[in-house]
Structure 1
Amino acid sequence: MLAFERSGSGETLILIHGVGHRRQAWYPVRDLLTPHRDVILVDLPGHGESPPLELAGRSVPDALTDYMREFLKDLGLEQPHVAGNSLGGRIALEAAALGDARSATALSPAGFWHSDREFAYTETLFKLISASSTRVPKGVETLCRTTGGRMLLLSWLNAHPGKVTPEAAVEDLRAFRAAQPALKQILAGSTPFAGRIPQNVPVTIAWGTRDTVLPSRQLKWAQRQIPSATCIRMPSCGHAPMSDRPRLVADVLLRGSAPVRGSAPVSGSAPV
């Protein structure tokens, strides 16, 4: 079974991290959510404390869908709200397309690159980060413990690396190294998102304006593919916005998983 932790009360909201990350990526927003939602943080297969990713002849999207469906079954959950960042956002949208989610909220979701060149850029970036983190692990961990070091090492992921604690930065780095086998499988099997989400399923897609992993211009392609989605730009946020602007991200998640959609804009965001 996938590793997870659960807290809070209210309607169930599952939060899924991105490739190479871990469930603790959601800690900056968790306490803002738990008074209103039953929050479940889960480690993807091959990440964190979960067992390895086994494709068993399946495509990467199909395998991850199967893992999540089995996870929901193990917990006795039917159509929870599902949200995610990057790869996790892609998984949330897949769940909505397949009827497994009551709502889907995706933060900078994977799968909306417009060309092979765009995907090659992201793939190369991950390969470079992987190489630097595995070849000089002690030196990189030492850098994580200084503000300047975190600015240097995490600026590709966060718009405000200084907000990440030294302890979290070190553990994130270790988790990233440990996830290398899964990361390689996922990158090699990546495909554009092609799901068709029913219009009666609420979908929110939010993108950080300072995302350097999946540039925010991809939001327009997501909007074209899912015209019923509420699309939001998050100012001063990077690819993993949870530590950049926790209150803004929590607001996006709460509104995206609201029982009844309101018309008020998300505070601090810029609707598209």
Structure 2
Amino acid sequence: MSATLSFTAPTEHGPQDVTLAYARVGTGEPLLLLHGIGHHRQAWDPVVDILATEREVIAVDLPGFGESAPLPSGLPHDLPTTGAVLAAFCAELDLDRPHVAGNSLGGLLALELGRTRLARSVTALSPAGFWTRTERRYAFGVLQGMRRTARSLPLPLVERLSRTALGRTALTSTIYARPGRRSPEAVVAETLALAHAEGFAQTLRAGRSVLFTHDVPGIPVTVAWGSRDRLLLPRQGVRAKRVVPGARLVRLPGCGHVPMNDDPALVARVLLDGSRPQEASAASTSFSTVGL
């Protein structure tokens, strides 16, 4: 079910009225899905049906992305503010400490929700915040280039490119290792989502000072990284493991930065295992828990 929710979030800058778009499907323990910068909740479409067999899945457009309105004027799109908004969103939907999974920016937000005891488990796919200064500059430069390209291409050209595997590669190979698998309709939609993301510049600006340096004790944490991630390099997963020593570090062979499209079955399995008791999940995903 696709819907919008308007609510008041108690942020560090006072109560703020926010509207977020989301989709909700499935039954079971709640699993909140958070996408990356410039993307939208449909990034999770390749895995949602699998997840919904065991979880109530809530995929949300982050503030200023997809169909969600940007944060009110003057409110920073930073980690504390977005975390407070997501906490209020969960409270409005009566989601009592959901499992949380996120990709890239969403992975960083998932870890923050786990650190503040607002998640019962966390699965972070190529999470932001474990970079060196050089790696961050590289990633931000790539993202800004992708944004400029998305905004400069006429829609008819995007639609024409999306109809061929070569064209989909040209548009999305930075984030997908197997861009030919993405449907033409999805490629057009996510190119438009990147071009029209009102929160992009402010979110990227806020990320310049971000480093995730806290442990996330007391809950199951999984950090998974695509072996072919060209945006946030896989060695950052090793740093994440040092920061969160209790986390399972999982390698996603053949996957890029947004792995849900590259290997939906593997990613869905990692997400479901990540939201189970640690003993059971460790046993079932040991096949991919290796050095990066």
TM-score band w.r.t. shorter chain: over 0.9
Equivalents in 1 of 2:172, 2:290: separation in Å?
27
Q: Residues of 1 paired with 2:145 and 2:123: CA distance?
A: 29
Q: What is aligned with 1:119?
A: 136
User: Hey, what's the Cα distance between the residues in 2 that align with 1:188 and 1:47?
Assistant: 15
Residue equivalent to 2:271: 253
Structure 1 counterpart of 2:127: 109
> Using the alignment, how far apart are the partners of 1:110 and 1:44 within structure 2?
15
Q: Separation in 2 of the partners of 1:170 and 1:59? A: 26
The alpha-carbon deviation at position 50 of structure 1 amounts to 0.9
Aligned-residue RMSD, C-alpha: 1.5
Which AA in structure 2 matches 1:219? G
* Per-residue Cα deviation, 1:38-84 (whole angstroms, up to 9, x for no partner): 11111101011111134745560011101101101110122110001
Letter in 1 for 2:119: A
Deviation at 1:7, TM superposition (A): 0.9
Is residue 29 of structure 2 the alignment partner of residue 29 of structure 1? no
Question: Is residue 96 of structure 2 the alignment partner of residue 67 of structure 1?
Answer: no
How far residue 268 of structure 1 moved from its aligned partner, in angstroms, is: 5.7
Match of 2:251 in 1: 233
Contact 1:151 1:161 in 2 (8 A): yes
Instruction: List runs of 5+ in structure 2 lacking aligned partners.
Output: 1-5, 7-19
CA distance in 1, matches of 2:278, 2:236: 28
| Match status 1:131 vs 2:148 | yes
Query: What CA deviation, in whole Å up to 9, does each residue of 1:109-135 have, x standing for no partner?
Result: 011102x11110001001111111111
- 8 Å contact kept, 2:36–2:105: yes
Aligned partners of 2:111 and 2:124 also within 8 Å: yes
- Corresponding letter in the other structure for 1:212: R
Q: What 5-or-longer segments of structure 1 have no aligned partner?
A: none
| 8 Å Cα contact 1:248-1:268 kept in structure 2 | no
Question: Kindly tell me: are residues 258 and 195 of structure 1, through their superposed partners in 2, closer, same or farther at Cα, counting changes over 3 Å?
Answer: same
Letter in 1 for 2:88: E
AA aligned to 1:78 is D
Task: Read off the aligned partner of 2:196 and give its amino acid letter.
Answer: A
Amino acid across the alignment from 1:146? T
* 2:290 aligned partner: 271
Residue 168 (1) aligns with residue 182 (2): no
Higher relative contact order structure (alpha carbons within 8 Å, sequence separation ≥ 6): 1
State the one-letter code of the partner of 2:163.
R
The structural deviation recorded for 1:261 is 3.5
Change (3 A) 1:18 1:72: same
CA deviations on 1:165-211 (whole Å, 9 max, x unpaired) are 000000011111111x311111111111133312x211000000000
Aligned to 1:193: 212
Tell me how many residue pairs correspond in the alignment.
269
Question: Helix, strand or coil for the counterpart of 1:264?
Answer: helix
Q: Which runs of 4+ in 1 moved over 6 A?
A: none
- Contact preservation (8 Å) 2:273, 2:284: no
- Residue 276 of structure 2 aligns to a residue whose secondary structure is coil
Query: Is the partner of 1:242 in helix, strand or coil?
Result: helix
Q: What TM-score, normalized to structure 1?
A: 0.95
How far apart, in 2, do the equivalents of 1:194 and 1:111 lie?
A: 8
SS at match of 1:189: helix
1:82 counterpart (100, 124, 133): 100
Taking every aligned residue pair, what percent have the same amino acid on both sides? 45
1:163/1:64 Cα in 2 relative to 1: closer, same or farther (>3 Å)?
same
TM-score, length-scaled by structure 2: 0.88
Please give the secondary structure, in 1, of the residue aligned with 2:86. helix
What is the distance in 2 between the residues matched to 1:128 and 1:268? Answer: 36
